[in-house]
Chain A
Amino acid sequence: MTPYPRRLPLLALGLAVGLALTVTLVWTVPGLSLQDKPRTGYDSLSPEEQGFARDLAGQNNRFAVAANSDSRSELLLIERHAEPKAVTRSGNWPRRADVYTYLYDSDTLMLAVVNLTTGQVDSVETMQNVQLPLTQNETDHAIQLLLADATRMANIATQYQTITGAALTQPEAQLKFNVLIYRADSMPNANPGAAACGLHRCAQFLIATQNDVVINLLPIVDLSLQTVVSAGQFVN
């Protein structure tokens, strides 16, 4: 598996056929499933709307240039844009989407607000120190980085042996991984090796055996640096 596929350039290429055609394709395909029913108001975005939003964001020049300048990017989230009250009280508002993409080299989160009704990108904003939940792609990559860290895996294997009496020979099959975003400002007096997390995009691990006995280690992987930065073991 190739981590962080560079999706945006491909999208831009695919969209060379033109926005009008895209709009037609998205909105007139007949006979799809229930998920494709028309959405309105507060309804969350349909998969088709999310796809359209992603394509529109990729067409935006600023969005595309920023994504192309970074060797690694990840589409984090596409979600219905929360409209201000003045808009929602009007009782009728366009379908808009927030498209969040992370650029690892510059540790920048890029937010494009796209209007699915007009087919326009209404705004593009960049920011740092904002970390949305990990994607499955990032989770998978973080797990591979942890598995490749022999020292940390040895610590996990020791705990596994204590808990189960068995050797940890196939970690991916023998362990369950839950992975969530880690920000250093959550615990400023702990995990000194992970102090850059927050500016960097980091993954903290919750690990359990297959029968759900927890491993009391909370390793942290820095996805921006692509390395394990903390054993996550708290000794008290």
Chain B
Amino acid sequence: MAMAILVALGLGLLGKQLTAQAQTINCSPSNLVDVTLSTGARWQMCWEARTMEGIVLHDITYTAPGQPARMVLAQANLAQIHVPYDDNGARFHDLSDYGLGGSNLNDLTPEDCPNGTLIRDGAKDVLCQQIQAEGYAYKYYATQQQGEALNLFSVSHIGQYNYVPELHFYDNGSIEFGVGATGRLQRLGSNPAYGWPLNAGNTSYGISHMHNYYWRLDFDLNGTPNDDQVEQIEFTANGARELFTIGQTPFTTEAARAVSPSTFRSWRIKDTVATNTDGHAISYHLEAEPGHLFHGPSYEPFTQNELYLTVNKACEKFASHNPTTGGCAGDVSAFVNGESLTGSDLVIWYGLSFHHLARDEDQNHMSPHWSSFKIVPRDWSATNPMDGVTTTPPPPTTGVPPTTTFTPTITLTPPTPTFTPTVTPTRTPTDTPFPGQELIVNGGFEGSASPWTLTGPATWSNGPFPNSGAGYLSLGNINNAKGSAYQQFAVPSGTTPGLAFALNVTSSETTNTAPNDVLYVEIRNTAGTLLQTLATYSNLDRGSAGVYVLRGAFNLGAYAGQTIRVQFRVVGNASLPTTFNLDDVSVR
């Protein structure tokens, strides 16, 4: 059952320093992100959903335009979110003690992911993949180049908070690691010393607190684990503070270091073998731009520094509350125990902090507050890889993995068959559809639901509530409903047909404000990838049983000449079910 996705790397080999290594990307096609941006830069990686870490990325590989593919990171993930409150009323270790994955990892909807692609893990859409304009790649008088980035984010709810770990992979090779914290305030108190008043009577205070985010970055520059070296870069001022002299100090044993903004302290990890065409070691630079700093009590030794440099061990997983399996220590400060870094596989741990002082606007829902840092290529290329690129139309924003035209090619061995409908839609007459012709077969659900493809709680019925005829389709009607019905058809070229249908929503929900159970009306391609959400309806649209409302028409002219699916997809919450009765679906 082992499958290998072989990335054949064979771009113009310009000598030893540019010789690309054959690399194997080890994941299924469904777990592979492979995006070529319009500038020709390409990012490839595997993703995995884990119970504590949430989304973990593996084998992150960057291809600068016109250059060979090179691995940057063997693994990258959040390794703790530590939330101590100013009043010492709580000190949470969210990642290890609660978990960003499992049931806390949100099932994203198309509305969570505008202009993006949802990536599925089993029964949930856990990742949103987007391509975003990032403004200037550079600007020089009349010359300019626009840049892009691949964004990947997930959402995890932890108590009242929703965390949004989001990574930006820029076409110039930079990676930004960020976490947004949104949702609602977790703790309120009454002591003005530790919070900010939130109500008119000044009796309720949002208690101030830290969010300390720790990232674990296992660098394997150029795909080789044991030939990387980390050095600290720092500047020394002369007495008059007019001259600043660079100092570069390599680490030879495991180390912990605090940030030092006044000396411009930063760190870079370089490959001791591979160079660019200038003969300079390829490297990545961690640009420390700390905002708030949190150096906590002695029993939180992992907070005493921002950077930890360790030899990679699989059981050293979390910055704090690390499971002490396999003889590993309990926190990152104890992972640093004098081991030699020479010839070792290195891991960089980086922590950044945000002190949250509540404000009135944090009610009822607070805007995300973001904490992020970047790693930037340093001498990865001999010149700016964005110079002279030819921008091509952006790849489709849908499809996993998106179609890529840039070499190196990926060979999927063997491709995993995906779900295919067991019922092949048939239509009569079999002539080529003509403008105005009905394109939906059995939109009235008469006699059966054939040829509609049904999943989950999508049930054909000849019960008491048809809109016309005798049959209709019921979607939902259970808690945690996740089901769909779709039909695939070709939209004739040069036509602008409209989708219309009759919908009757009934619900046990009583809320007049919360759309807890939702019906999405979607256009998908033949692979099932979402192209457009035409409309959403919810329990808020509820009415009397059997009283239908005609919805549409929704113009499908944009899909002329394509074969598409019209899909009705229901997603319900855990209680108080909603039923979406559907009848008389028409596209013409």
Contact, CB under 8 Å: B99 / A206? no
Q: Which of A1-47 contact B (CB under 8 A)?
A: 27, 33-35, 37-44, 46-47
Contacts A85-B345, A88-B26, A212-B184 given: A133-B325 contact, CB under 8 Å?
A: no
Contact, CB under 8 Å: A83 / B314? yes
- Interface assignment of A66: CB less than 8 Å from any CB of chain B: no
Smallest CB gap from B299: residue in A: A188
Contact, CB under 8 Å: A85 / B48? no
Contact, CB under 8 Å: A41 / B92? no
Contact, CB under 8 Å: B27 / A42? yes
Q: Which residue in B89, B93, B96, B160 is a CB contact (below 8 Å) of A234? A: B89
Q: Which of B188-196, B427-435, B490-498 has 4 or more CB atoms under 8 Å from chain A?
A: B188-196
Cα of A83 to Cα of B312 in the assembled complex, Å: 11
Cα of A132 to Cα of B364 in the assembled complex, Å: 32
Cα of A83 to Cα of B56 in the assembled complex, Å: 14
Q: Which of B1-9, B33-41, B529-537, B548-556 has 4 or more CB atoms under 8 Å from chain A?
A: B1-9
Q: Which of A188-236 contact B (CB under 8 A)?
A: 188-190, 206, 208, 212, 214, 216, 218, 234, 236
Contacts A42-B31, A180-B92 given: A133-B52 contact, CB under 8 Å?
A: yes
Chain A residue contacts of B26, Cβ below 8 A:
40-42, 88, 91-93
B117 to chain A, nearest CB (A): 16
Contact, CB under 8 Å: A111 / B46? no
B164 to chain A, nearest CB (A): 18
Contact, CB under 8 Å: A218 / B103? no
Contact, CB under 8 Å: A216 / B317? no
Contact, CB under 8 Å: B364 / A40? no
Chain B residue contacts of A236, Cβ below 8 A:
87-89, 189, 191, 193-194
B301-328, CB under 8 A of A: which get 1 and which 0? 0000000000010110100010111100
B83 to chain A, nearest CB (A): 10
Smallest CB gap from A214: residue in B: B188
- Interface assignment of B369: CB less than 8 Å from any CB of chain A: no
Smallest CB gap from A216: residue in B: B188
Chain B residue contacts of A38, Cβ below 8 A:
1, 3, 28, 416
- Interface assignment of B236: CB less than 8 Å from any CB of chain A: no
Contact, CB under 8 Å: B188 / A35? no
Cα of A133 to Cα of B58 in the assembled complex, Å: 24
Chain B residue contacts of A93, Cβ below 8 A:
26
Smallest CB gap from B121: residue in A: A44
Contact, CB under 8 Å: A218 / B160? no
Chain B residue contacts of A43, Cβ below 8 A:
27-28, 30-31, 46, 48
Chain A residue contacts of B58, Cβ below 8 A:
41-42
Smallest CB gap from B365: residue in A: A212
Chain B residue contacts of A214, Cβ below 8 A:
160, 184-188
Contact, CB under 8 Å: A37 / B91? no
Contacts A34-B419, A37-B28, A91-B24 given: A234-B325 contact, CB under 8 Å?
A: no
Cα of A88 to Cα of B59 in the assembled complex, Å: 10
Chain A residue contacts of B417, Cβ below 8 A:
37
Q: Which residue in B31, B324, B364 is a CB contact (below 8 Å) of A129? A: B324
Contact, CB under 8 Å: A91 / B4? yes
- Interface assignment of B142: CB less than 8 Å from any CB of chain A: no
Contacts A79-B50, A214-B160, A234-B88 given: A132-B122 contact, CB under 8 Å?
A: no
Cα of A77 to Cα of B88 in the assembled complex, Å: 31
Q: Which residue in A33, A80, A130, A206 is a CB contact (below 8 Å) of B323? A: A130
Chain B residue contacts of A44, Cβ below 8 A:
48-50, 121
Cα of A34 to Cα of B123 in the assembled complex, Å: 9
A128-142, CB under 8 A of B: which get 1 and which 0? 011111001000000
Cα of A38 to Cα of B160 in the assembled complex, Å: 37
- Interface assignment of B410: CB less than 8 Å from any CB of chain A: no
Cα of A88 to Cα of B218 in the assembled complex, Å: 13
- Interface assignment of A105: CB less than 8 Å from any CB of chain B: no
Chain A residue contacts of B99, Cβ below 8 A:
133
Chain B residue contacts of A34, Cβ below 8 A:
418-419
Cα of A154 to Cα of B125 in the assembled complex, Å: 41
B539-574, CB under 8 A of A: which get 1 and which 0? 000000000000000000000000000000000000
Query: Which 8 residue pairs of A and B lie closest in terms of their CB atoms, listed nearest first?
Result: A41-B26, A234-B89, A91-B24, A181-B97, A180-B98, A133-B99, A206-B159, A82-B314
A sample of 20 more A-B contacts (CB under 8 A), given A39-B28, A127-B325, A133-B102, is: A33-B419, A40-B26, A41-B25, A42-B46, A43-B46, A44-B121, A82-B317, A84-B314, A88-B74, A133-B51, A178-B158, A180-B159, A181-B96, A188-B299, A216-B187, A218-B90, A234-B87, A234-B88, A236-B87, A236-B88
